[in-house]
Amino acid sequence: MAERTQIVYIEDDQDMVDLVSVILSRDNFEIIGVHEGTKALETIRQVKPALVLLDLMLPDIGGWEIYQAMKQEPTMRDIPVIVITARGAPIDKVLGEHLAKVQVYLVKPFSTHELRDSVKRVLGMAS
C-alpha cells in the first residue's frame, strides 16, 4: 500500500478536523490536527507535511501570523497552504489570494468536491 501523504490541519474545532480527515482519507491523505496556533509551527517543522490547511480564527494566535512565520522560515517557505475559514467576505478572499498569495482560500461551509479538488490541484495530482 502506498504511503499516505501527510497534511497538517491547524483548526481549533475537532469536528472540522474529523470531517476533513474523513473526506481526504479516501484519497490516501493523513490529516494531523493541531488545535493551537502556538503548536502549529513546531508541528509543521517535525512533520514536514506536503500541505498545510489553515484556519484563520484560532484562540491563541491568528492564522495569518502562522502563515507569515511559515513564509519567513526557509524550511517551511515552500509548503503550500490552503486557508479554510468562515471569513467569507470578498475583501478577506482578495487579501488571502492576492496579497498573501495563498494557493486556495476555501470558505466554510465548503463542499466535499471543493476540498478534494483544491487539495489535489495544489499538490499537482490529477483529479
Amino acid 90: pLDDT? 78
Amino acid 89: pLDDT? 79
Task: Quote the crossing angle between the two packed helices 63-72 and 37-47, to the nearest 10°.
Answer: 40
CB 105, CB 97: distance < 8 Å = yes
Under DSSP, is residue 53 helix (H, G, I), strand (E, B) or coil? strand
- Domains belonging to the chain, first-starting first, are 5-122 (3.40.50.2300)
CB atoms within 10 A of CB 112: 13
pTM of the model: 0.92
- Tens-digit pLDDT string for the chain (127 aa): 568 999 999 999 999 999 999 999 999 999 999 999 889 999 999 999 999 999 998 988 989 999 999 999 999 999 999 999 888 777 777 777 766 778 898 999 999 999 999 999 999 986 5
